[in-house]
A and B are shown apart, each in its own frame.
Chain A
Amino acid sequence: MSWVNAVVQGILLGGLYALFACGLSLMFGVMKVVNLAHGDFAVLAAYLALVIVSGFEVPILWSVLLVAPLFGLVGYVVQRFIIQRSLDVSPLTTLLVTFGLSIVIQNALLEAASANSESLQSGILASGSFQVAGLHVGYLSVLIFVTATAVIVGLQLFLSRTSLGRQLRAASDDQETASSVGVNVRHVFGVAAGIAFGTVALAGVAFGMYSSFDPAAGPQRLIFAFEAVVIGGMGSLWGTLLGGIVLGLAQVLGSQIDPGFGVLAGHIVFLAVLAFRPSGLIPQVAQAAQ
């Protein structure tokens, strides 16, 4: 029974990783930008939610309504005024710039908060659970999993069915041609980053409810997002969902074998995918969003 339980918990944990990774996947898929500050922005979102919750005494889920749109705006501005400028120089420059952002955010958080770890208290949501077929399933992990799936389905529909989504894909395929048919490439890249940052905010708050965080927690989390993206296949959103689930499963099943083996098991699966199927479980073609 405990193995069945581990599988369920692993899949649900995968939802959190997928939610966290889809912003990274979108930024890479559309702009070929690897955002090294991705994890730090998620931590920043959690701190922001903490300030809102304690300052206005509103429930945690309400804070998301403020943090996610705010992050959308931040994403647009960061893309247009920081990342785009480095993208114009060379793709490698974006690595340096986002790495710089990562360090700035960490130190700013250390200055503004402290090195102590914090967590977002969500009351019944975090501790409550229901029983299905003898398994205890937490409300929070189900909520996060459903959110992750909804976000990824929504993103896919956005990319394949809307005018702006098509402009994004066009700009991703060939910026110059997109520009030649009237697409404002810088604007649509800003929008893509805004959406990605919105999902980062969701994931940051989700992570904050799931476990504690401190100013330096970003890079450690970034690794999980990377692994989910690479396991699934670079630039494919369905792949990212699958990659998150595979990573979550590996970690939970690993810790079932030995409590200390969980995270390592995830890394091993990641390495195995890199070695035997470097283009990921669902290769890039899926991005074509039929």
Chain B
Amino acid sequence: MTEAPLLELDGVSKRFGSIVVADSLSLSLGRADAVGIVGPNGAGKTSLFSLISGDLRPNAGDVRLDGRSITRLDPASRCRLGIARTYQVPRSFEHMTVFENVLVAVHRGAGLRGREAFGLAAQVLDETGLADTANERAGRLGLQQRKRLELARALGARPRLVLLDEVAAGLTDPEVEGLVQIVAGVRARGVAVVWVEHVVRALFGVVERLICLAAGKMIGDGEPRAVLASDAVRDVFLGTDYGEVAPG
């Protein structure tokens, strides 16, 4: 008997009125996979994350983790099972310190207590380069640090699958480079990564599989360069600079 994949989506659909954000999506993700997701605005990338994390419930279809259906579980339960996400627009606990932001995730998501919890929180802040700001209020951080805190909070939950929603958007080139290093490190520890990003060259540093979404449908899935080179994907991105930023 083969082991069930880490995450499976089986015919997942979600619509808001006449707007379809997920049209019978099916995909399967193995342990320690690293997958990039691209697609034009409104393609349903963030909605896909919300369907996986539990922030949205699908109208139809099933979401499975380790072969077990999690479709009816709330986000908190899914987090404790190993799924953590970041938000595209950073949503930290503004009135709490950076350290506390991560500590909440460590206590609840990773289920650690006492010294162990403090240890993991400190380690995550080190890993994400936020150790210097540990005692600052999250509300005072700049954009780059907020993006990193999104990542740190997700890692604090000690996930097996982390969903990164445009964590590189709005950052300068050296900042993006630093972030890619961090994500590559996370991935190297055996954490599966699904990364939605407009900055495609950031993805190429980490992922070995690329999925392209358009209007809630999957129009490409496979080796990144092959996906970007396919006609269907080229059509969708006609007139944008996706093709050019992909390293040849």
Interface residues of chain A, those whose CB is within 8 Å of chain B, are 163, 166-167, 169-170, 172-174, 176-185, 285, 287-289
Contact = CB atoms under 8 A, between A and B. Distances in A.
Contact of A181 (B79, B95, B113, B137): B79
Interface in B18-64: 53, 55
Contacts of B92: 173-174, 177
Interface stretch (B6-14, B101-109, B170-178, B231-239): B101-109
A262 to B, nearest CB: 37
B96 A173 contact: yes
Interface residues of B, number: 32
B53 A170 contact: no
B91 A177 contact: yes
Contacts of B104: 163, 166-167, 170, 178, 181, 183
Contacts of B80: 182
Contacts of B94: 173-174
B107 A166 contact: yes
Contacts of A172: 95
Given A177-B92, A180-B53, A181-B156, 9 more contacts: A166-B103, A166-B107, A177-B87, A181-B79, A181-B108, A181-B109, A181-B157, A182-B108, A185-B76
A167 B95 contact: no
Contact of B79 (A163, A180, A285, A289): A180
23 contacts: A163-B103, A163-B107, A163-B117, A166-B103, A170-B93, A170-B101, A172-B95, A173-B93, A174-B92, A174-B94, A177-B87, A179-B74, A179-B75, A179-B79, A181-B84, A181-B156, A182-B108, A182-B111, A182-B157, A285-B95, A288-B95, A288-B96, A289-B95
A166 B100 contact: yes
A181 B153 contact: yes
Q: Is the interface of A mostly helix, strand, loop or mixed?
A: helix
A177 B92 CA distance: 7
B187 interface: no
Q: Identify which of B84, B87, B92, B107 gathers the most chain A CB atoms within 10 Å of its CB.
A: B107
A182 B96 contact: no
B112 to A, nearest CB: 10
A289 B97 CA distance: 10
B147 interface: no
Nearest to B153: A181
Q: Identify which of A173, A176, A182, A184 gathers the most chain B CB atoms within 10 Å of its CB.
A: A182
Contact of A169 (B84, B95, B111): B95
Nearest to A177: B91
B53 A169 contact: no
B76 A167 contact: no
B150 to A, nearest CB: 9
A177 B153 CA distance: 10
Q: Identify which of B75, B92, B94, B109 gathers the most chain A CB atoms within 10 Å of its CB.
A: B75
Contacts of A184: 76, 108
A225 B117 CA distance: 38
A183 B108 contact: yes
A145 to B, nearest CB: 29
Q: Identify which of A167, A170, A184, A287 gathers the most chain B CB atoms within 10 Å of its CB.
A: A170
Contacts of B209: none
B147 to A, nearest CB: 14
B85 interface: yes
A179 B76 CA distance: 5
Contact of B76 (A166, A174, A182, A288): A182
A174 B107 contact: no
B79 A182 contact: yes
Q: Give 7 nearest A-B pairs by CB, closest first.
A: A182-B108, A181-B105, A182-B109, A182-B79, A173-B93, A288-B95, A179-B75
Q: Identify which of B91, B101, B108 gathers the most chain A CB atoms within 10 Å of its CB.
A: B108
Contacts of B111: 182
A127 B138 CA distance: 51
Nearest to A160: B100
Nearest to B94: A173
A169 B96 CA distance: 8
A167 to B, nearest CB: 6
A250 B210 CA distance: 68
Interface in B110-132: 111, 113, 117
Contacts of B95: 169, 172-173, 285, 287-289
Contact of B107 (A167, A177, A287): A167
Interface in B69-99: 74-76, 79-80, 84-85, 87, 91-96
Contacts of A163: 103-104, 107, 113, 117
Nearest to B102: A181
A183 B85 CA distance: 14
Contacts of A180: 53, 55, 75-76, 79, 84-85, 87
